[in-house]
Structure 1
Amino acid sequence: MSDAQEPRELRPRIVALEIVTGLALLAISGAVANYAFHLWVGGKSFQAVELFGLSICFLGGCLDPINWIWICLPFTRNLIAESGRFAVAGWIIIGLGWLVFVVGMIGKYAHP
C-alpha cells in the first residue's frame, strides 16, 4: 500500500456562479484600487503600490474566479474546476499583480 494521492478530479463549471463571483472580484478590485488611489494622494506611495498590486490580483482572478478562490483557500485546494478560455491570461495578470505587491511591500519596509 502506498500513500500516493489520487489525481485531482476536475469539477464541472457552473457558469452562473462564475459570472457572479467574477463580478464580485471585479467590484472588490475597483474598491481596493480606489482606496489605493486615496492613499497615493495622501502621500503613502508604497502602501498605495502594495494595494494596487492586490487590486491587479483581484482583477486577474476575474478571468478564472472559481479556481482562484479555491486555490487561495487552504481547505479547498483539491476542488478545482475546469478552466475557462482566459484562465492563462488571468494567471499572468495575477503574477504581474503579485510582482507589484512585492515591490510595494519591499518599499514600505525599506523606506518607513
Structure 2
Amino acid sequence: MAIRKIVGQVLPEERDEIQQLFERRNGLNELARIVTADNTELYEKLVKDLGETGTRFQQWWNRMAQKYQWEGCDDSNWEINFNTCDIYLVGGQCDECNA
C-alpha cells in the first residue's frame, strides 16, 4: 500500500526557495515543448538552464532532508504543501516507511 504522511516542515523562506525553483522548472519544461533544436542558441540556453535548475532543485531537497532528518525510503519521495510548508513522504511500500 502506497503511503502519504507528514514527515516535517520547512520555514516559509525555505518554502519560498523551493517554490521559485519548482515554478522555474515547470516554466522551462513548458518552454521546452515549443522550442525546437532549429533555434540552436535558444535551445542550448534552455537545456543548460533546465540542467542547472534541476540540480538546484535536487540540492534543496538534499539539504533540507539532511537539516531536518526526514524519514524516507528508496521507493518514495518527498513533496511539499506550499500553503502549509508541510513535507510529505509519498509512495513507497518499504517496511520502514509503513511502520
Q: TM-score, normalised by structure 2?
A: 0.36
Structure with the higher strand share, 1 or 2: 2
Q: TM-score, normalised by structure 1?
A: 0.33
Structure with the higher helix share, 1 or 2: 1
